[in-house]
Amino acid sequence: MPNPKANVSPRRSVGARDGWIARLNARPGEGPKYLSIAQGLATAVGAGELAPGDRLPPQRRVAEALGCDLTTVTRAYAHARAMGLLDGEVGRGTFVRGAVSPTGPIIDLSMNLPPPAGEESLRDLIGRGLAAMLKNNDPAALMTYRSGMGSLRDKRAAAAWLQPLLGEIDTARICVAPGAQAALAALLAMLAHTGDAVLAEPFTYPGFLAAARLLGVRVAALACDDEGPLPEALEAQCTRVRPKAIYLNPTLQNPTTRTISAVRREAIVAIARNHDLTIIEDDAYGLFAPNVTPLARLAPERVIYLSTLAKCLSPGLRTAFVVSPPALSAQVSEALRAAFLMPVPLLSDMAVHWIESGVAKRLFIAIAAESAARMKLARKILPARARGGLGGFHLWMSAPLGWSAQAYAAAARAQGVVIVASRDFATEMDAEPGVRISLGAPPDRETLARGLCALAALEAEADDDK
């Protein structure tokens, strides 16, 4: 008769000082101790250090090895069982079941994209847009090379879209790019070379940090408070590191949601003028705060302004607008052309058609309304320390006392919710453990609420452990 247990891995005992236990002693301050133990188990299983069927040491031996109470280990084992990580057999001990598998579908609160636009059907909008483009254009023109960084029609549409923020713009200053990330990498390469320094906020857009690493450009952090970069710190950094440029996301900043105050903006511009510095203004969320004056309007002679449709309409359009200082227009156009040759005709033409026809404005109004509703929901569920702007669709929240941001994000992931830890945004040292919580990716508010409630439940666990 076949042995039903023939394909089951033999059970092995794991020594009380082996692997994951030793690492827990070397990594204090990773949140409540019982959650840290459970997460250490999950990490060991995910790495293959513990295999399904392995028998864990008795709880008392683990407690002695870690120098903690037996009740803490008991609670950790219970939490790991609830995660689906462990099984227990009376009289035989506790065994590894397998890697953590959150119950239910993953709720993604990590991707910072706009929420669905209410009753608007993207399928219908895209279908009508394509039909109009094919009716009014030769299809071959949508699938071939184009010269320049956008046609006059493209630039006029961009100027109309940005008019609420920048006022009247000379179209000669405008370039159309296939996404803000591509444009940002090209601008950074134009302004700085390997070994040069560029200034940025302590936590900033990861795409900028990635481009800087690729180019070998050093990013120096600016000291900030709730109003933005401190003028005296900016002045000192300009003297100390002699930066080639300043990169700022001044409105509803990603990830901290901070909007630089009007007084601080004037001070930043004055210092940049004094040191003859170029500012890259990444205004991805500017349209959500139309009453805030962009840096490019205060100092058009030295601010390269970058605006993307990814955050206010859809990342799938892969369309961004670059507005250059008049003296840099030719150089910026050359840098962009060297990096990506041209905008993507099919996508940029769709964006232009939406702007000209009024679809883009209608879509943005619906997205802004849904963002506001989701922000209201988040503020109701999450603790008060979760910070969010009046517009936009992401929040910044410090980790609970005693937790690292990575431990908090890992604990959320074990509950089926994905958020982003502060380390991914850190310019230099991750001094303030926090997480970015993005509200746009869930398909509806009900799904979003489930994810936010899971985070709130982690808060309750942290409070119970105090």
Give 232-261 as a DSSP string.
Answer: HHHHHHHHHH--SEEEE--SS-TTT-----
pLDDT in tens, 317-376: 999 999 999 999 999 999 999 999 999 999 999 999 999 999 999 999 999 999 999 999
DSSP 88-117: EETTTEEEE--S---SS--EE-----PPP-
Domain span(s) for CATH 3.40.640.10 in the chain = 122-358
Q: Are 162 and 185 in contact (CB under 8 A)?
A: no
pLDDT at residue 91, rounded to an integer: 67
Residues of the chain with confidence (pLDDT) below 50 = 1-10, 14-17
- The dihedral built from the CA positions of residue 62, 67, 70 and 76, taken in this order, carries a sign that is negative
CA distance 44 to 33: 16
C-alpha dihedral (146, 147, 150, 154), degrees to nearest 10: -60
Query: What's 107-115+362-465's CATH class?
Result: alpha beta
Beta carbons within 10 angstroms of residue 420's beta carbon: 21
CA atoms within 13 A on the CB side of 132: 15
Among candidate residues 51, 65, 64, 58, the one with its CA nearest the CA of residue 21: 65
**Residue that the structure tokens 């008991």 belong to:** 74
pLDDT at residue 101, rounded to an integer: 59
CATH number of the structural domain 19-96: 1.10.10.10
CA distance 113 to 220: 27
Phi, psi (rounded to 5 degrees) for 141: -70, -20
CA distance 464 to 430: 27
Domain span(s) for CATH 3.90.1150.10 in the chain = 107-115+362-465
Query: What's 122-358's CATH class?
Result: alpha beta
- The dihedral built from the CA positions of residue 285, 110, 364 and 333, taken in this order, carries a sign that is positive
pLDDT at residue 147, rounded to an integer: 87
pLDDT at residue 29, rounded to an integer: 52
pLDDT at residue 7, rounded to an integer: 39
pLDDT at residue 17, rounded to an integer: 40
pLDDT at residue 209, rounded to an integer: 96
Q: Are 122 and 114 in contact (CB under 8 A)?
A: no
**pTM of the full structure:** 0.83
pLDDT at residue 289, rounded to an integer: 95
pLDDT at residue 6, rounded to an integer: 38
